[in-house]
Structure 1
Amino acid sequence: MRRPENSPRRTTVRAAALVASAAMVVVGIQSGSASAGNERSSASAVTMSAGQHAAAVKDAQASAPATADALGLGGKEKLVVRDVIKDANGTVHTRYERTYAGLPVLGGDLVVHEKKDGARSTTKATKARIAVASTTAELPAASAKKSALKAAEAEKTGKAEAGKEPRKVIWAADGKPTLAWETVVTGLQHDGTPSELHVVTDAKSGAKLYQFEAIRTGTGTGDYNGTVTLGTSPGGSGYTMTDSGRGGHKTYDLNGGTSGTGTLFTDADDVWGGGRQSAGVDAHYGAAETWDYYKNVHGRTGIRGDGAAAYSRAHYGNAYVNAFWSDSCFCMTYGDGEGNSNPLTSIDVAGHEMTHGVTSNTAGLNYSGESGGLNEATSDIFGTSVEFYANNSADPGDYLIGEKIDINGDGTPLRYMDKPSKDGASWDYWSTGMNGIDVHYSSGPANHFFFLLSEGSGARTVNGVSYNSPTYDGSTITGIGRGKAEKIWFRALSTYMTSTTKYAGARTATLNAAADLYGSSSTEYQTVNAAWKAINVN
């Protein structure tokens, strides 16, 4: 974020309160109607075990050549299955990456929606036909690497290096498909966060086509969770922070290091807390709450939906005031804050940052422009949702992002979902000029949409916090409730959004999701439509 059970689950009694923080081309719409109070469960995704998910992916990959033919893809194109979602009504949504002549197609992802009767429709990241005149690069890889290092220099990346050779790709995320080089430059961002800067360079002209930072970050200080329940396992002479009930999630102590996994947290009597353990308990608890939220609310077992756990690392670096998610290690990492006295380990951090992992493994929203704003908003939306889900009396759910951080020094939160512009930088409404601003601020309209959809417009109080949400068109919105809004956004993300989805595409995706869940004549569908109009997306 930026400024303006093979083993029992055991209750952990803390000697002191826990430290925490906040980091913080579409298908036709299904017809039908449903009452405002009844969800259309036949169109909801069914929960699959890890084995069932793996089998579904394997089956889909086996039929991928036939699917490519049915979609009319060119002879040089192939489909690679990334995810499969099955609905209770028999509809199957299969998400694919594309290759061309063996090269990855960035921005070529698509989702095939196949009903039980065989009827198909497709959501594509690009409408363009994938083809290039030649796959022979005129620009040498060394030149692409040099350009990428210059891009990293412009970002003030410390210790920048491009250890891996650039890979040849087809860039198709905007405009005409282009042969390109993708270079990953590693190093350190200005605050000590690791950097994985991806730079896409035209393989003919040498022009930079795109760049994005793969490490998703968040910032916070502290909140208190109180007594919590942890999933631990017997190990060595005592117990370890290994949650076998949640995919085997492990939490490690980096002890000030900045690489590797460090040492797995252990305890002799399984009563954790105090000293270095406190940050580990917070991180382990936050990961568990996030796992449970996605499984129990959305039927998704693990960040990838395959039952595999990520892992957590506490005590990163020296006085590191941040926390981050990394796809490359599939892990969450937490610093200890100013003076190494306020570890950035909380429900909010886990919910926001781990959602970046969920987004990477579903829509894969590009982390730039409008797509990047939607990516950040998705993490705010589900970070908030995890906070409500945890129902921790020490930190009641709210629509204030980073309210416990006091990063501004005056007690104000980092971001506001009811009126984003109150932070001094975020935008309340969509406009054409938004594409070039920081993704933490272009997330504002989507956060605003979610608040309006959940709670409605005007003044209200939720869990003791007062809000007053305006609308672009002066309309009055009556919310449908956060629970329904969460399910609509998640279905849109996992089923209808792609890497290139912008605000207009997010509107269509959420309308599709609302129609699936509640019917296109329902109050929920109409409210989704009204909430988008209320932030100037029509």
Structure 2
Amino acid sequence: MTPPPTTRKTTLRIAIPVALAAVALAGVQAGPAGARPAPEPGAQAVELTPTQRASAVKAAQAEAATQADALGLGAKEKLVARDVVKDADGTVHTRYERTYDGLPVLGGDLVVHEKKNGTRDVTKATAARITVASTSADVSAAAAEKSALRAASAQETAEAEAGDAPRKVIWAADGKPALAWETVVTGVQEDGTPSELHVVTDARTGKKLAEWEGVHTGTGESMYSGRVTLGTSGSGSSYTLTDAARGGHKTHDLNGGTSGTGTLFTDADDVWGNGLASNRQTAGVDAHYGAALTWDYYKNVHGRNGIRNDGRAAYSRVHYGNAYANAFWSDSCFCMTYGDGAGNSKPLTSIDVAAHEMTHGVTSNTARLNYSGESGGLNEATSDIFAAAVEFRAANSTDVGDYLVGEKIDIRGNGTPLRYMDKPSRDGNSRDYWSSTLGSVDVHYSSGPANHFFYLLSEGSGAKTINGVSYDSPTYDGKAVTGIGRAKAEKIWYRALTVYMTSTTKYAGARTATLSAAADLYGSGSAEHQAVNAAWAAVNVK
């Protein structure tokens, strides 16, 4: 089931709502290897409780006006604090959204990095000065809505309708600020996935500036992971798939529906499923188990307390639609949703799919990488990277860790994985290396160079066998790359995502962000820092 990149049916549209079209990373950024001092002791993020994080964001908002002045923003610009990361050495990284004359600025996000001694750097999604001649629109909201509906029609969206009125915004993601209307058209994509198509229309000329799809397609007996332990709630003869230890995560049965929450799974003896798709609980077991593994991974490895880092869980929905061969994450419900696959016999609920879905939520609540062009490829790669990380950490003997994506769900129907991280082009569509045309391909295929980078950084180039799986990873320039180990590579990518990347980060910006992260964690010029540089060169990002 591998449609060409020009169609909307892509292989496993692992989903999140996103914003904006991709442009270059701008602002103050880290330089090449050797350009940063060695890290101070403890130069990495410390875990904040949900209360501490909320207090930090509130305090950052109280200082937003001061920060705006320090950054030299215009009189009509304001900052809205969205997230705060604190390092053990006292450095604080504050992520802001921007408004202009009260209007949201799409593509105006930035991160302020302030050291304990008061020195400050900033990473901006756009270097452009945010200003427009007027905030009065020449094109009406109604006209913008009609334009958005035409865009949805061109995408063959069924049951298309613009539920909410278009909102007036400043569009800055392409580096040329313009007054615009953002319209969200809901409906159904070709493969049955819900659609939330965002269309940005120039409020002066009526020209379409951008569009992106807001929903995209990443003890019980499970189907893919054997007998597993589940977090459930209840007693006596009444139990539910409610994991109180992980933010109250719940798993629901949609029973073929395509909206709502369906029915919370219940059971009389707290023994769930039988490992077969014919038992409705089985898909629930896999989804619930995958969500728990992903929660634990982010908590224990990165100190992240849930998708939003606020201690509250998302929820899962299984048995979506009829023979729906897909899965998706949606911010609008803050949930993961899984179909049962072709013939309703292969639910898309394996460990790596669950981790991929939840990671889209993490990206949506950190860098918010735009789901188009190179930024969209980095968004997809981020979900693949942490899906592999979760799978390896799970150490499940039935579904062992590997650098293959979706190898259990057989979405192609021929037993092959969905994607390969060691040599992405093995799937027939993905790119192994960066090129100037990368941004024009489907985001599931433009993810290839980043997936390849992560594999090379973790394991190195050449032929090898890991957990019984054979790999043979090439390099663009033919030079050998020595890996630093997956654990370090994961730490570097996570810090880059949460501290240095913005909504408009492209591959060049991802290289800069990961070099900054490696310098922070291991020191500028360290073996790890040099390995990041070498791995990017190996996928033609220099």
Residue 487 of structure 1 pairs with residue 491 of structure 2 = yes
The equivalent residue for 1:120 is: 120
Contact 1:22 1:348 in 2 (8 A): no
Give a deviation string over 1:153-184, Cα, whole Å, max 9, x none.
11111111101100000000012100000000
Give a deviation string over 1:369-400, Cα, whole Å, max 9, x none.
00001001111111111111111100111111
Displacement, 1:235?
6.8
| CA distance 1:41–1:230, shift in 2 (3 Å) | farther
The equivalent residue for 1:107 is: 107
Displacement, 1:216?
2.3
Contact 1:511 1:525 in 2 (8 A): yes
Identify the match of residue 27 of structure 1 among 18, 26, 29. Answer: 29
CA distance, structure 2, for counterparts of residue 494 and residue 333 of structure 1: 25
Displacement, 1:254?
1.1
Give a deviation string over 1:115-154, Cα, whole Å, max 9, x none.
1111111000000000000000100011111111111111
CA distance, structure 2, for counterparts of residue 241 and residue 104 of structure 1: 39
Give a deviation string over 1:380-431, Cα, whole Å, max 9, x none.
1111111111111001111111222333333221111111111111111101
Where 2:229 maps in the other structure, the secondary structure is strand
Identify the match of residue 522 of structure 1 among 495, 518, 526. Answer: 526
Identify the match of residue 478 of structure 1 among 477, 482, 502. Answer: 482
Identify the match of residue 326 of structure 1 among 321, 330, 335. Answer: 330
Displacement, 1:239?
1.4
CA distance, structure 2, for counterparts of residue 28 and residue 373 of structure 1: 22
CA distance, structure 2, for counterparts of residue 491 and residue 326 of structure 1: 24
After superposing the two structures, state which structure 1 stretch, 323-332 or 263-272, moved more. 263-272
Superposed counterparts of 1:271-286, under 5 Å:
271-274=271-274, 275-286=279-290
Contact 1:197 1:211 in 2 (8 A): yes
After superposing the two structures, state which structure 1 stretch, 115-124 or 345-354, moved more. 345-354
The equivalent residue for 1:349 is: 353
RMSD: 1.8
CA distance, structure 1, for counterparts of residue 37 and residue 110 of structure 2: 26
Superposed counterparts of 1:37-52, under 5 Å:
42-52=42-52
The equivalent residue for 1:433 is: 437
| CA distance 1:22–1:160, shift in 2 (3 Å) | closer
| CA distance 1:305–1:392, shift in 2 (3 Å) | same
CA distance, structure 2, for counterparts of residue 175 and residue 78 of structure 1: 18
CA distance, structure 1, for counterparts of residue 347 and residue 431 of structure 2: 30
Give a deviation string over 1:241-286, Cα, whole Å, max 9, x none.
1111111111111111111111111112212224211111111111
Give 1:368's aligned amino acid: S
CA distance, structure 2, for counterparts of residue 339 and residue 316 of structure 1: 13
Work out the number of aligned pairs and report it.
514
CA distance, structure 2, for counterparts of residue 478 and residue 459 of structure 1: 12
Give a deviation string over 1:73-126, Cα, whole Å, max 9, x none.
111111111111011111010000000011000000000001111111100000
| CA distance 1:407–1:350, shift in 2 (3 Å) | closer
Contact 2:108 2:124 in 1 (8 A): yes
Q: TM-score scaled to structure 2, two decimals?
A: 0.92
Give a deviation string over 1:184-222, Cα, whole Å, max 9, x none.
00000101010001011111111111111111214xxx9
The equivalent residue for 2:214 is: 214
| CA distance 1:22–1:165, shift in 2 (3 Å) | closer
Displacement, 1:529?
0.4
CA distance, structure 2, for counterparts of residue 414 and residue 273 of structure 1: 26
CA distance, structure 1, for counterparts of residue 527 and residue 232 of structure 2: 44
Displacement, 1:533?
0.8
Where 1:192 maps in the other structure, the secondary structure is coil
Give 2:384's aligned amino acid: D
CA distance, structure 1, for counterparts of residue 309 and residue 167 of structure 2: 28
Q: TM-score scaled to structure 1, two decimals?
A: 0.93
Displacement, 1:3?
5.4
The equivalent residue for 1:201 is: 201
| CA distance 1:105–1:256, shift in 2 (3 Å) | same
Contact 1:108 1:173 in 2 (8 A): yes
The equivalent residue for 2:313 is: 309
The equivalent residue for 1:533 is: 537
CA distance, structure 2, for counterparts of residue 22 and residue 338 of structure 1: 13
The equivalent residue for 1:18 is: none
CA distance, structure 1, for counterparts of residue 446 and residue 68 of structure 2: 35
Residue 501 of structure 1 pairs with residue 482 of structure 2 = no
Where 2:109 maps in the other structure, the secondary structure is strand
Superposed counterparts of 1:12-91, under 5 Å:
25-28=27-30, 31-33=36-38, 42-91=42-91
Q: Which runs of 5+ in 1 are unaligned?
A: 5-20, 35-39
Contact 2:346 2:409 in 1 (8 A): no
